[in-house]
Structure 1
Amino acid sequence: MTDSNTDIAVVSLAQPLDSIADELGRSFQQYGFAVIRDHGIPQELIDRAEALSKQFFALPDEVKRAYHIPGGGGARGYTPFGTEKAKDAKVHDLKEFWHVGRELPEGHPLAEFMADNVWPSEVAGFRETFSELYAAFEEAGGRVLEGIALHLGLDREFFAPTIEDGNSVMRLLRYPPLEGEEAEGAVRAAAHGDINTITLLLGAEEAGLELLTAQGDWKAVAPPEGALVVNVGDMLDRLTNGKLRSTTHRVVNPRGDAAYRARYSMPFFLHFRPDYVIETLPSCIDADSGTKPPEPISSHDYLMQRLREIGLA
């Protein structure tokens, strides 16, 4: 069941997937976003992860910067404040973050595409907690993709091999507090689209996340406490020839007291395998439209192309 059939879908993963697949699909087609309840990530794990994230970001700047990997494209470890910017943006986003990626055994055929993780020794339990959360995000994302597959008329397991050992990345994100009259309504993360397949976001309860509608209006995304916000990334948009929309979105500072405190969130960028070739699904090609679908491209080549555009590679 859903909480709405005319707005951004709010669906429960505790329901049979075939009963929510089309509502998910409608929301992804109309807005590029949906909200997921009963996602299976334990609240205790979320609370523990949020506490450790805040503990890490409270460390002295020189300690955090010791985990920055120059030339690493921000793929692992710490990325300092003022490094990343949205495509075509003139200023950098007002944020700092930490990335945790997949760990592959030595000799794995995809190991060349994924750097080793680094772990801060100053925060006890960091590695164990975020390894556990990474796995939980991945499981929830797999369930969402099953629902998407059903909506697209595919076998429900269609996406499983496409994301197996994928280059997915979990980001711990902090937007530092702002000062002055300009803080209220300031843009903390400029308008952008996500590169990956789908994004799952924890921590969007704090006001500020907005999506750009097809009509050109900014629409707030306000999930219930503990829910996941899920949005379509450019890779899935490309695979479906725009049927499922990778929607431009941004983070703005809220009004009132919340404008003057730090904001924390944890997005999980679920990726295809680096060697998966993104080629438009036949069912998403309109032969009568007169427009050609995008050229096939491997997810790794597409990722690197986009990372260069945002200053991370």
Structure 2
Amino acid sequence: MTDVSNQTTTRSTAGIASVSLKQPLEDIADELGRSFAEYGFAIVRDHGIPRDLIDRAEAKSKEFFALPDDVKRSYKIEGGGGARGYTPFGTEKAKDAEIFDLKEFWHVGRSLNEGHELAQYMAPNVWPEEVDSFKATFSELFAAFDEAGLRVLEAIALHLGLERTFFAPTVEDGNSVMRLLHYPPLGPEAPEGAIRAAAHGDINTITLLLGAEEAGLELLSKSGEWLSVDVPEGALVINVGDMLERLTNGALRSTTHRVVNPNGEAARRSRYSMPFFLHFRPDYVIEPLASCVDEDSDKPLPEPISSHEFLLQRLREINLV
């Protein structure tokens, strides 16, 4: 594992793609692909998620996290691995980390009808009764994230020389999760050395993140420098997850990233964001694409594994199951 504890931050995101989804995907596919290959990250504007929906969702998220602690904890599902409902402050750790992250969160997953062939993999959602229109707002946002994510995957497919719709069946009814994140103001109760989100890579296929405009999100470059990800208001930050890196045999990078603690006035206020972890179907078998395999390489290929089994492995590593 890379030692990232004492790395310095370089305040630059030069080279990371920033594209508009209003453009034809053929025109932006390679720019996105190069950015994902080099940095594992890209910024996407004009993504189609309505501004008024984002504003409503942010307001509902703040309303929930302002509830009394005992009310929030009543929505913690024991034995659920944090897949639905509330996960309290001090629970999740990054892989190999010794100290928990300084955050609490709520998960909304895909709703499947009873009897659906994949229903065994996805628990029903729970919804807080104390926040009006919570279910309606976040059901709408989940669908909007899903649509935007599929469009990004179409661009990735074009970059990889695949059929534009290659990823559609791989993520249809996938085990995607939307996370409402709250990083509370920094206080004396935080353990020494703890940060809002310790260095980690994402498990899933791609992540779409709203609410990263405030400074703090950083990625680790190939050269070992921390680069801050500077985001225009309302834009999505997209990053490659471990599942897509495995599928592409490392051609697209799942990059280590973190959210560092702010200084000054920012340390005394909360930070909120909403990542959407887009997943393959639980029964999709992840094995390297033929186009991403170098027949002359001695490097061993990753073994085929189902999306569900891969997810369970990683959830154990981050203290959620």
Q: TM-score, normalised by structure 2?
A: 0.94
Give 1:286's match in structure 2, choosing from 276, 294, 316. Answer: 294
For 1:92-241, list aligned pairs within 5 A. Answer: 92-179=100-187, 187-241=195-249
CA-to-partner distance for each residue in 1:186-233, whole Å, 9 max, x for gaps?
621100000000000000001100000000010000110000000000
CA distance, structure 2, for counterparts of residue 107 and residue 44 of structure 1: 35
Measure the CA separation in 1 of the matches of 2:264 and 2:230. 17
Shift of 1:256: 2.6
Q: Where in structure 1 do 4 or more consecutive aligned residues deviate above 6 Å? A: none
* Cα shift at 1:293: 1.2
| SS, match of residue 11 in structure 1 | strand
Q: Where does residue 263 of structure 1 map in the other structure?
A: 271
- Is the Cα–Cα contact under 8 Å of residues 99 and 194 in structure 2 kept in the other structure? no
Give the alignment partner of residue 67 of structure 2, picking from 59, 62, 66.
59
Equivalent-residue separation in structure 2 for 1:220 and 1:150 (angstroms): 28
CA gap of 1:222–1:186, structure 2 versus 1, over 3 A, is farther
Offset at residue 41 of structure 1 (A): 0.1
Structure 1 position 87 matched with structure 2 position 108: no
- RMSD of aligned alpha carbons: 1.5
Mapped partners of 1:191, 1:126: distance in 2? 31
Q: Residue 251 of structure 1: which of 233, 252, 259 is its match?
A: 259
Match of 1:75 among 83, 103, 111: 83
Letter in 1 for 2:252: L
Question: What SS does the aligned partner of 1:187 have?
Answer: coil
| Matched residue SS, 1:247 | coil
Contact 1:186 1:252 in 2 (8 A): no
Native 8 Å contact 1:78 1:98 kept in 2: yes
- Superposed displacement of residue 287, structure 1: 1.3
SS in 2 for 1:171: strand
> Is the contact between residue 17 and residue 31 of structure 2 (CA under 8 Å) also seen in structure 1?
yes
Q: CA deviation at 1:82?
A: 0.4
Amino acid at match of 2:211: G
Equivalent position amino acid for 1:112 in 2: Q
Q: 1:172: how far off? A: 0.2
Percentage of pairs with the same residue: 76
Q: 2: CA distance between counterparts of 1:254 and 1:224? A: 19
Offset of residue 177 of structure 1: 0.2
What does residue 46 of structure 1 align with? 54
SS at match of 1:35: strand
Deviation at 1:6, TM superposition (A): 5.5
Distance 1:94 1:291 in 2: 38
- For normalisation by structure 1, the TM-score amounts to 0.96
| Deviating more after overlay: 44-53 vs 255-264 | 255-264
For 1:34, give the aligned amino acid: A
Q: Number of aligned residue pairs: give it.
A: 308
Task: Confirm or deny: 8 A CA contact 1:43 1:226 kept in the other structure.
Answer: yes
Tell me the amino acid that sits aligned with residue 169 of structure 2.
P
CA–CA distance in structure 1, aligned partners of residues 65 and 230 of structure 2:
25
- Paired residues of 2:101 and 2:194 also in contact (CA < 8 A): no
Unaligned regions of 5+ residues in structure 1, if any? none
